[in-house]
Amino acid sequence: MSSRESSSDGGGASSERSPHELARLQALHGERYWIRCSGRMWIATARVDDGTEPTIIRDSAEDLAVAMEHPEPRVGRWEPLR
């Protein structure tokens, strides 16, 4: 399968790995997130700590786009002992 083809995860969600899809996500969310696709995973890392989950990983570009629009709150913040 080439990098421009889609694959299905069996649940109906496609894992589109085209440069066009990456460019679309970067245009929409690139100021807030560093976005990339590695193999079958789509990854977005927040550029600034704003209290939401710092890294979002999803199986498809569509799922990643939704998660970037509505990120979960950050959990497990470590605070040094005083």
What average pLDDT score do residues 8-32 get? 76
Per-residue pLDDT, 16 = 52
82 falls in which pLDDT band (50, 70, 90)? confident
Phi and psi at residue 57, to the nearest 5°: -125, 125
Q: H or E stretch including 45? A: strand 41-46
Task: Kindly provide the b/e burial profile for residues 50-73, where b requires at least 16 CB atoms within 10 angstroms of the residue's own CB.
Answer: eebebebebbbbbbbbebbeebee
- Taking the model in full, what pTM does it have? 0.73
Q: Do the Cβ atoms of 33 and 57 come closer than 8 Å?
A: no
Is 68:54 a contact under the CB 8 Å cutoff? Answer: no
What pLDDT digit, counting tens, does each position of 61-71 carry? 999 999 999 99
